[in-house]
Amino acid sequence: MSDISDTDFEKIAELAADKAVAKITDQGYKELGKMTFKGITYLLGVVATAFLLFAASKGWIKLG
């Protein structure tokens, strides 16, 4: 037989499962954060470009 009781084995398995879920969840949140940052950066670039083009069309600034 083994030196580990069924109860101890269940506790170890539960801790391992909790750790795995925490690691996967943490990794998922990191990826979500990266995607959100890229999206916000892209949106800010679009807004800045649109504002520059709008300001140029109104004659507020000269491009080129």
- HEC string of 8-44 equals HHHHHHHHHHHHHHHHHHHHHHHHHHHHHHHHHHHHH
Place of tokens 């101890």: 8
Amino acid of residue 57:
S
pLDDT tens figures, 33-57: 999 999 999 999 999 999 999 999 9
String of DSSP letters for 44-59: HHHHHHHHHHHHHHTT
Model confidence, pTM: 0.60
Residue 1 has pLDDT above 60, yes or no: no
**Residue pLDDT, tens place only, 21-37:** 999 999 999 999 999 99
- The helix/strand count (H/E) of the chain reads as 1, 0
Given a cut of 90, whether residue 3 has pLDDT beyond it is no
Residues 20/12, Cβ–Cβ less than 8 Å: no
